[in-house]
Amino acid sequence: MMCGLSDSEKTMKVYIETLGCQMNRLDSELVTGQLLGAGYEIVEDLDTADVFLINTCSVRQQAENKVYSRLGREAGSDRRRIVGVLGCMAQRRGSGLLKRYPFVDIICGPGQLHALGEMIRRAADGEQTVACDPDRKDGRAAFEGNSSIDSLDHDRDTAVGSPAQAYVRVMRGCDKFCTYCIVPFVRGPEISRSPDAIYEEVKQLANAGRSEITLLGQTVNSYRYSAGDRAVGFSDLLERLSGVPGVRRLRFVTSYPTDFGDDILHAMRDLPNVCRYIHCPPQSGSDRILKTMNRKYTRTQYDSFIDRAYEIMPDVTIAGDFIVGFPSEEEVDHEASADLIRRSRFKNSFIFKYSARAGTVGAKTLEDNVPFEVKRRRNRELLAVQAEVSLEHFQSFVGREVELLVEGPSPLADKPINVSDDPNRLQMLGRTSGDHITVFQGPVSLAGQYVTARITDATAFTLFAELVE
């Protein structure tokens, strides 16, 4: 997808800022590869950039406010450069963004990113582009007919990104329509990619040394691909991908509770390179709230999923997400969420204050009636419960040996030991297969490699370790 730059454009410097979830991080990586291939230069410093791209998130108002503040700053700067708003907020707001920010040159939804190089070229000629997917109410066909839906992933430059880790999209969109959530509107209907295309991508990544592959989907375990009378489910996909030579760790996020069959749990238990890590958000521990959220399970069903997971894999690590202050949430519902955290023994939970999203059923039909102060308190309380549970979980590792994939020097500030000038004794950061952040002292040359380490200490967020020779 070269787009024939003129000489003056060949050295255009592009700065990309990424907000939001792993899907956006993957999209930004794919965009980076695409733009490098088309002759652009990617820079780390916004001040030097000729093109400012911001890959946006709409999941909570706070995420959108960040974009407004960046665009406000851009409006106030003397530097005139090409500005592109990409991703979920571009899809949600479309040309509406131009009313307040007329200087924006490109508005590009997540389904149109494959054409971004061309849009930048046009912007250099003074042309504005607004490119978004059709509105969801125009139906599935509008998306399924889009043959380019995978092209960004297809044309992937496997050398761009972290040396040992890579995200791979297995599905797009979401059909669950939880009443609070904007994702089904901005990412479109759920469409699973062909297993052959996924296999090929994983193979190429593994050949390039990317040995830890994380499969991505909004409800990744709902993956289902049908062609003729052949159907491939998520456990089949895991089995197939685990056989790709060079894949040492296979992970996946995020899971939806009711789509987590025993076949997947068994595949995780039996396939040695599939990490025993599950991120499966309950969102609430209260049946009444779950129902209002349109989560399609009860508390009892969630509990029994957790029980099955621990029964099949006693050493599995589980993480969750919660929303506090959902419309009509009472103390008793909040208590039920706290109880769910204790019962599920989560490694960690992400806890969010409810944010009404325009266009969702929640925003249309439910009054956002939990005061902000109460949301804040409930958020703090759930974090405190989770911290107790996390501490116990992390401390159970002390004395054990674990395998770490080393990511690089540790940016952790709480126990800074990067005081040495000796590159052989830096504080390095790695992750266990269960996604525990682990720090140890070692040479910087270990980045991207697997090491064995003995855990010596633990906080609620971090393991501390010594290398085992």
Measured from the CB atom, is 296 or 454 closer to ligand SAH? 296
What are the phi and psi torsion angles at 231 (to 5°)?
-125, 135
Which H helix or E strand runs over 406?
strand 401-409
Closest by Cα among 73, 67, 118, 62 to 90: 67
Measured from the CB atom, is 68 or 103 closer to ligand SAH? 68
Measured from the CB atom, is 129 or 218 closer to ligand SF4? 218
Per CB under 6 A, residues contacting ligand F3S are 20-21, 23-24, 57-59, 87-88, 182-183, 186-187
What are the phi and psi torsion angles at 104 (to 5°)?
-65, 130
Strand 224-227 relative to strand 230-233: parallel, antiparallel, unpaired? antiparallel
Instruction: Return left, alpha or beta for 439; rule: phi > 0 is left, psi -120 to 50 is alpha, else beta.
Output: beta
Measured from the CB atom, is 161 or 362 closer to ligand SAH? 362
> In this chain, which of 323, 389, 447, 451 binds ligand SAH, going by CB under 6 A?
323
Smallest gap, in angstroms, from Cβ of residue 94 to ligand F3S?
15
Binder of residue 211, out of ligand SAH, ligand F3S, ligand SF4, none (CB less than 5 to 8 A by kind): none
Smallest gap, in angstroms, from Cβ of residue 251 to ligand F3S?
17
Smallest gap, in angstroms, from Cβ of residue 63 to ligand F3S?
6
21 binds ligand SF4 (CB under 6 A): no
Q: Are 161 and 210 in contact (CB under 8 A)?
A: yes
> In this chain, which of 1, 13, 157, 177 binds ligand SF4, going by CB under 6 A?
177
Measured from the CB atom, is 361 or 387 closer to ligand SAH? 361
What are the phi and psi torsion angles at 81 (to 5°)?
-135, 175
- For residue 318, the SS3 value is strand
CB under 8 Å to 176, separation ≥6 — which residues? 184, 218, 219, 256, 294, 296
- Tokens 């490098």 -> residue: 36
- Tokens 């204050």 -> residue: 353
Site for ligand SAH, residues 58 to 77, rule: CB under 6 A: 59-60
181 binds ligand SF4 (CB under 6 A): yes
CA angle 191, 22, 11 (to 5 degrees): 105
Site for ligand SF4, residues 432 to 451, rule: CB under 6 A: none
Measured from the CB atom, is 114 or 187 closer to ligand SAH? 187
257 binds ligand SF4 (CB under 6 A): no
| Burial of 224 (C-beta count, 10 Å sphere; 0-12/13-18/19+) | middle
183 binds ligand SAH (CB under 6 A): yes
174 binds ligand SF4 (CB under 6 A): yes
Binder of residue 223, out of ligand SF4, ligand F3S, ligand SAH, none (CB less than 5 to 8 A by kind): none
Binder of residue 177, out of ligand F3S, ligand SAH, ligand SF4, none (CB less than 5 to 8 A by kind): ligand SF4
Smallest gap, in angstroms, from Cβ of residue 403 to ligand SAH?
27
**DSSP type of residue 193:** P
Q: Enumerate helices (H) and strands (E) in the chain, giving the number of each.
A: 16, 21
